[in-house]
Amino acid sequence: MIFSDKITALAAQAEKELSGIYRDIDELSFFNTSRIMDAFSEYRVSSTMFDGTSGYGYDDRGRETLDLIWARVFGAEAAFVRHGIVNGTQALTIGLFGLLRPGDLMCSVAGKPYDTLEEVIGISGERGNGSLADFGVGYRQIELNSDGTLDFEAIGSLLRYEKDKNKPVKVIFVQRSKGYLNRRTLTVEEIGKLAGFVKSISPETYVVVDNCYGEFTEKCEPSALGADMVIGSLIKNPGGGMAECGGYIAGSARAVELASYRLTSVGCGLEVGATLGQNKNLYKGLFYAPHTTAQALKTAHFAAYMFGALGYNVSPLWNEKRSDIIQTVITGSPELLCAFCRGIQKGSPVDSYVTPEPWAMPGYNDQVIMAAGAFTQGSSIELSADGPLREPYTVYFQGGLTYESGKIGIMSAAEAVLKG
Ligand SMILES: *Cc1c(COP(=O)(O)O)cnc(C)c1O
């Protein structure tokens, strides 16, 4: 791919300024890789664990061992990871339906949850489809403070109010990553503080974290700091670009057990689930995950530098610490949003010849444009960009299986935006 002198020079300047940050990211990747290798060693991972089971999938040592490893790596009492969970939304649905009963209350404390959860909760879409609202689960929402931090005062008073009514809040739900919102991403430390705060007032309350895009961007996960359920997708960070599909839940033993009854059935829980030869991809994915996440982090810093230098409003800034792999650029117009996505598409290893167009995606309220030239459909640990067609036309992008390819994609997007 040939780039203009302007973009080539800017890229060189970016890498010079980012060298210290890239070194820190390499160190983070080393730290998390060594945690994973220690767990592999402790649980004696062997090639026989990659053999798949069929049918009920009883005694699948590969599956059972990976659950233990996942729990260890996530600093959790228990975990499950399954290729059969179709996406992050389903993993979150399993977790929420596992915990919530009719008459219970759930409160989202980082404002509106991710778009696809709205219909699951029942705050949008039709009634009668089996949302949490249809089952009589109440929903509250507490916005973040104007500086993007958690509103502990409001959270505390809700918890106390419901506890005084003898009906403690069942689930405090928090989304770590900004998702499709113009807000700060929460750090693991902040979520840990939330978990401690919630438990100090209302020990019965479960703290559930939408961990999508956050995994391995820090040295530990929210489950290590007291969250009861941490949930994510394998076609994002923890699948390392290797998992073909899947999701996971990690957390406290009882919460994970309750989720397991929703995953399969009450009684069967985690004792069943044929792995059909997918174990190797999931092990390999976890093994790669810190490295792949590091590639995505470097790509995000690079993009923040490039688009910041070109005069766009970016978040986070090029030199800001991250707790997820999402980078946003406010393009300001539908034309530039689409140009950006076309540039990313053109700089992708697969389907580089296609032109992305906005469409009404299931589960989303606005039209969305998505650019992805991924080996795995919809994978967003691979370089991908998307944005809902609404003000201020923010493009959200993430991923990059290798820094080199991520850099090419970002340079291509920069060229496309310069041309308009
Ligand atoms: C990706 C994501 C989800 C789940 O989306 P799927 O497309 O169903 O995997 C949920 N929450 C956040 C913050 C996400 O980034």
Q: Pick the residue whose CA is nearest to atom 2 on ligand 1.
A: 212
Q: Answer yes or no: is the C-beta of 242 below 6 A from any ligand 1 atom.
A: no
Q: Is residue 328 part of a domain?
A: yes
pLDDT at 365: 80
Distance 108 CA to ligand 1 centre (A): 15
Specify the ligand 1 atom closest to the Cα of 378: 7
Distance 209 CA to ligand 1 centre (A): 12
Pair 291, 33: CB distance under 8 Å? yes
* Bridge partner list, 80: 249
Pair 341, 386: CB distance under 8 Å? yes
| Count of structural domains, the chain | 2
Task: Output the CA torsion 375→377→380→385 (10° steps).
Answer: 100
Cα distance from N-terminal residue to C-terminal residue, the chain: 19
Report d(CA 152, CA 196) in Å as an integer.
Answer: 11
Q: 243 with 191, same domain?
A: yes
* Bridge partner list, 229: 208, 251
Distance 239 CA to ligand 1 centre (A): 14
Q: Is residue 74 part of a domain?
A: yes
Look at residue 335 and give its three-state secondary structure.
helix
Q: Answer yes or no: is the C-beta of 212 below 6 A from any ligand 1 atom.
A: yes
Pair 52, 274: CB distance under 8 Å? yes
* Bridge partner list, 359: 368
CATH number of the domain enclosing 394: 3.90.1150.60
Q: 323 with 396, same domain?
A: yes
Residues of the chain with pLDDT under 50: none
Pair 184, 34: CB distance under 8 Å? no
Distance 364 CA to ligand 1 centre (A): 11
Look at residue 132 and give its three-state secondary structure.
coil
Distance 230 CA to ligand 1 centre (A): 13
* Bridge partner list, 82: 247
Residue 330 DSSP symbol: E
Pair 384, 397: CB distance under 8 Å? yes
Distance 419 CA to ligand 1 centre (A): 32
Q: Answer yes or no: is the C-beta of 177 below 6 A from any ligand 1 atom.
A: yes
Q: 272 with 356, same domain?
A: no
Report d(CA 241, CA 48) in Å as an integer.
Answer: 22
pLDDT at 209: 98
Expressed as residue numbers, the domain containing 106 is 49-286
pLDDT at 181: 82
Q: 107 with 245, same domain?
A: yes
Q: Is residue 39 part of a domain?
A: no
Specify the ligand 1 atom closest to the Cα of 90: 8
Pair 172, 160: CB distance under 8 Å? no
**Interstrand relation of 229-233 and 206-210 (parallel, antiparallel or unpaired):** parallel
Q: 294 with 282, same domain?
A: no
Distance 35 CA to ligand 1 centre (A): 25
- Picking from 261, 286, 311, the residue at the C-terminal end of a domain is 286
Distance 9 CA to ligand 1 centre (A): 35
Q: Is residue 42 part of a domain?
A: no
Q: Answer yes or no: is the C-beta of 281 below 6 A from any ligand 1 atom.
A: no
Quick count: other Cβ atoms within 10 Å of Cβ 240?
A: 26
Q: 308 with 244, same domain?
A: no
Look at residue 306 and give its three-state secondary structure.
helix
* Bridge partner list, 330: 313, 394
Strands (E), 191-251: 206-210, 229-233, 247-251
Distance 114 CA to ligand 1 centre (A): 7
Q: Answer yes or no: is the C-beta of 87 below 6 A from any ligand 1 atom.
A: yes
Q: 271 with 319, same domain?
A: no
Q: Which DSSP helix (H) or strand (E) runs through 353?
A: none
Radius of gyration of the chain measured on its C-alpha atoms: 21
Of 93, 119, 177, 212, the residue with max ligand 1 atoms within 8 A of its CB, to mutate for a pocket test, comes to 212
Of 90, 92, 112, 116, the residue with max ligand 1 atoms within 8 A of its CB, to mutate for a pocket test, comes to 116
Q: What angle do CA 300, 301, 304 make, to 5 degrees?
A: 85
- Picking from 252, 286, 320, the residue at the C-terminal end of a domain is 286
Report d(CA 391, CA 358) in Å as an integer.
Answer: 15
- What would the DSSP string read from start to end of 44-75? T--GGGGSPP-TT-TT-HHHHHHHHHHHHHTT
Of the candidates 173, 138, 194, 191, the residue with the CA atom closest to the CA atom of residue 255: 173
Distance 420 CA to ligand 1 centre (A): 30
Q: Pick the residue whose CA is nearest to atom 5 on ligand 1.
A: 88
Q: Answer yes or no: is the C-beta of 379 below 6 A from any ligand 1 atom.
A: no
Of 86, 90, 114, 208, the residue with max ligand 1 atoms within 8 A of its CB, to mutate for a pocket test, comes to 114
Burial of 326 (0-12, 13-18, 19+ CB in 10 A): buried
pLDDT at 362: 77
- Condensed to tens digits (0 to 9), the pLDDT of residues 92-134 reads 999 999 999 999 999 999 999 998 999 999 999 899 999 999 9
Of the candidates 326, 288, 273, 364, the residue with the CA atom closest to the CA atom of residue 80: 273
- Condensed to tens digits (0 to 9), the pLDDT of residues 238-296 reads 999 999 999 999 999 999 999 999 999 999 999 999 999 999 999 999 999 999 999 99
